Structure 1
Amino acid sequence: MDASPIDPSAKPRKLPRRPASTLAEKWTTVDGVDVFYRESPDPPADARVMAHVHGFGLSGRYLLPTAERLADEFHTYVPDLPGFGRSGKAKGMLDIPDLAHAALRFFDDRGVDKATLVGNSMGCPVIIEFAHRYPERIDRAVLVSPAGGLYNQPLRRAIGQLSSDAPREPFKMATVAVPDYVRFGVPSTLRMFRALTQYPSLQRLLEMRIPTLVVLGQRDPLLPHAHRVDEVASQTDSHVLVVLLEGAAHAINYSHPGQLAHVIRAFMDDRPIENDPAWPGHVRLYEVHRGKHHPPAKA
């Protein structure tokens, strides 16, 4: 049978827009602010809730590679906090406590009673503040490449650190990060940087009394060396487990999602932190510190 003739006057059929994520993209309104978020499309009924918190000036887009790998096992949320990404802006400029409160109100809106929070960079101080203010609402904390404090001051030093980090990240990371930074704007950057570097991250981290995983990139110029982290963490009777990922820089959630998802699963199930033999030779995990009161790994 002959094929039907093509009508040259017909308009070409538009292909549907490729979804930015395998997670469902949704909107809600929290305290009068439009909030954009992504969510597991069909999580198991008994799945533990896990929310991913983005970094400075960014949206949740760059967290998706890791979040998607965990979305079948955990009821996953990846919100753009107010003032970031596609979400609207709240009145006034948000600081770290404000962002922690915004995360709480997002959970209230979604009916989430308790969650594990996974953050990168600035998302880590937000999680630390959340645990400080609302300890009954957080189950565990995963802090990936925590930023802020004296090591990133002054601004010119932080800019230099970010410049050093950029060539160490996957090239595609720029296609995600640059539009987010442009949207965030210079005035917001200056105000948010001041709030981030003045926040007492280390003090609050050492006060936390929930199981906490810290994942550091061995090539991350924004963080002190892992030995310094171990030295500081050892000064307190903490619940902190520190793991070093060889070959990674700052944006581990984007550059090494398979390895990060692997270590998060092990942490959530209190299993030993072990390397997968299928990984490239330059990628390995090393346990740097295990707090005295961290749950012992189940063999």
Structure 2
Amino acid sequence: MVRIRRIARMSAAEARAAMAAPRPDQGFTSRRVTVDGLKLHVRSRTGSPEPGIPWVLLHGLAVSHRYLMPTALALPGDVHVPDLPGFGLSQSPRGAFDVIEHATAMAGWMDAEGLSGAVLLGNSFGCQVAVELAVRRPELACALVLVGPTVDPDAPTAAGQAWRWVRDLAHEDPRQAQIIARDVRDAGVPRVLRTLRHSTRHPMAQRLPLVAAPILVLRGEHDPIAPPSWIARAAGLAATGRSMSLARAAHNAVTTAGPALAAEAVAFVNHRGVVSR
């Protein structure tokens, strides 16, 4: 009997939302916010009758707000999906920012928007930015949701991470290709490679214990970039941490399993009794 491999996939509406900016779509609109001389692009849905705790979604390496939209659509209340400097529709700084510089830029944007006490939901490199942001500015984060966090200490090199990324492709929805191609074109390969090197130098395992907010660590069950051993260790390093796996998804669970991921994130926040600061 031939075993058919089932992988998580985007819906047509999710794919449309991913590529819609700067046009409005499904309640989300685009705007520009200037932070330290850089014009940052932010995709947001605001004005909910029951806004509750705001959500801030932070994207991974080489990509942008686009691939986070399936998760953003499924979250409740006010949701903000910024493009990091040099990625997506945000202005590029002269050099490639490291993790701390990205976290500083996000803190400046949140200050400009009057955002605090948000749930920070990051994927891959975005998890490193979220952790650094929560360590340096704890009042900005009431909880963290880390999806496929990098960098696993068992593969702490650019080559090791790149090889795992290649292995991940077999488990991803091929319809993501259009999104990723657009994102890589926007950022440029040199910036992507320099940011990857910054990523591997960031001491994620040493920073996680310094986060005061509760942390949920998630991975797609087929994710080779964030294997189960690293996810369990990351959750164990957190002051208040929990880990779990999402069925059928791989590293880009935020794209292919948005509703399921959002449901787990909301349940975690509600179970912990998290309140915005």
- TM-score if structure 1 supplies the norm length? 0.78
Counterpart-to-counterpart distance in 1, 2:54 and 2:25: 18
Q: State the partner residue of 1:120.
A: 123
Counterpart-to-counterpart distance in 1, 2:231 and 2:35: 37
Matched, 1:214 2:203: no
CA offsets, 1:211-242, max 9 Å, x none?
11111111101123x245435644x5720111
Counterpart-to-counterpart distance in 2, 1:46 and 1:58: 27
Counterpart-to-counterpart distance in 2, 1:108 and 1:210: 19
Q: CA deviation at 1:67?
A: 0.4
- Confirm or deny: 8 A CA contact 1:141 1:210 kept in the other structure: yes
Specify the code of the residue in structure 1 equivalent to 2:210: E
Q: State the partner residue of 1:158.
A: 161
The answer to which of 42-51 and 29-38 deviates more is 42-51
1:179 to 182, 202, 226: 182
Specify the code of the residue in structure 2 equivalent to 1:42: G
The DSSP-based 3-state class of the residue aligned with 2:79 is strand
Matched, 1:69 2:81: no
Counterpart-to-counterpart distance in 2, 1:139 and 1:251: 24
Q: CA deviation at 1:151?
A: 3.4
Counterpart-to-counterpart distance in 2, 1:157 and 1:109: 37
Matched, 1:168 2:166: no
Counterpart-to-counterpart distance in 1, 2:273 and 2:71: 25
The DSSP-based 3-state class of the residue aligned with 1:175 is helix
Matched, 1:230 2:232: yes
Counterpart-to-counterpart distance in 1, 2:91 and 2:105: 12
Q: State the partner residue of 2:104.
A: 101
Q: How does 1:249-268 map to 2 (within 5 A)?
A: 249-268=250-269
Matched, 1:239 2:223: no
The DSSP-based 3-state class of the residue aligned with 1:183 is helix
Counterpart-to-counterpart distance in 1, 2:38 and 2:238: 40
The DSSP-based 3-state class of the residue aligned with 1:262 is helix
Counterpart-to-counterpart distance in 2, 1:255 and 1:296: 28
The CA RMSD measured in Å over matched residues stands at 2.2
Q: State the partner residue of 1:282.
A: none
Q: Which runs of 5+ in 1 are unaligned?
A: 1-16, 271-294
- Confirm or deny: 8 A CA contact 1:149 1:200 kept in the other structure: no
Counterpart-to-counterpart distance in 1, 2:270 and 2:88: 32
Matched, 1:29 2:34: yes
Specify the code of the residue in structure 2 equivalent to 1:245: L
Q: State the partner residue of 1:144.
A: 147
The DSSP-based 3-state class of the residue aligned with 2:73 is helix
The DSSP-based 3-state class of the residue aligned with 2:154 is helix
Counterpart-to-counterpart distance in 1, 2:143 and 2:232: 20
Counterpart-to-counterpart distance in 2, 1:75 and 1:264: 15
Q: Which runs of 5+ in 2 are unaligned?
A: 1-18
Q: Report percent identity of matched pairs.
A: 31
- Confirm or deny: 8 A CA contact 2:211 2:238 kept in the other structure: no
Q: State the partner residue of 1:88.
A: 91
* Pair member with larger Rg: 1
CA offsets, 1:131-153, max 9 Å, x none?
11111221110000101253344
Closer/same/farther in 2, CA of residues 263 and 110 from structure 1, 3 Å limit: same
- Confirm or deny: 8 A CA contact 2:219 2:231 kept in the other structure: no
Counterpart-to-counterpart distance in 2, 1:193 and 1:178: 17
Q: State the partner residue of 2:64.
A: 59
Of Structure 1 and Structure 2, the greater helix share is in 2
Q: State the partner residue of 2:10.
A: none
Q: CA deviation at 1:156?
A: 2.6
- Confirm or deny: 8 A CA contact 2:117 2:139 kept in the other structure: yes
CA offsets, 1:8-54, max 9 Å, x none?
xxxxxxxxx96474211222222211111111143236521111000
